[in-house]
Amino acid sequence: MIRTIGLLEFNSIAKGIEAADAMTKAAEVELLRAHSICPGKYIVLISGDVGAVKASVEAGVEVGKQFIVDKLVLPRVHPQLIRAMNGTTPVNEVNSLGVLEFFSIATSIVAADAAAKAASVDLIEIRSGFAIGGKSFITLTGDVSAVQEAVEAGANIGEASGMLVNKVVIPSPRKELFDQLL
């Protein structure tokens, strides 16, 4: 089970690839993702023990330097986080819908973790950078009050870093909308 993740977001694809190599050589980590995103950025996502993830991210920072847009080391990740990042969360019930939108992928991951820990909600997806101009967004569901609490917790992360674009809570979305999100 994944407990700690690290992420580096670059504005140079070439530096991102070079840093991914350095990161995987620096410590015993699992490379979860390493690829380009819109608009011409590159992300590297790893997992492992806290110490290994920290060492790996530090190695990536050393290589990437001025090309780094954002970074994170997130220990004790919520169990739903990786499923939501992979878009594989099953949604069995149409409930209220929360949406958080960010300028940064790293911020969306930290915000999703905070939202999932703040209230009894189900993370649906963390969409990151693909065909959305390098932005990211989170969708989550649950009872209205839980969704409101989770959205506020996630929004606070984005507001503190200046990366929040917008947030919404839709109390009773139509099932057709959920079908389009899944």
Instruction: Please tell me the distance from the alpha carbon of residue 60 to that of residue 168, in angstroms, as a whole number.
Output: 35
**Measured CA distances, 115 to 13, 30, 61, 136 (Å):** 30, 25, 27, 15
Question: How do the domains of the chain map onto residue ranges?
Answer: 4-74, 80-181
User: What is the reported pTM?
Assistant: 0.87
* Token pair 């929040």 in the structure block, residue: 164
Q: Provide the CA 91 distance to its chain's centre, in angstroms.
A: 19
User: Which CATH code is given to the segment(s) 80-181?
Assistant: 3.30.70.1710
CATH 3.30.70.1710 fits 4-74, yes or no: yes
28-62 per-position pLDDT tens digit: 999 998 988 878 889 999 999 999 999 999 999 99
60-69 per-position pLDDT tens digit: 999 999 999 8
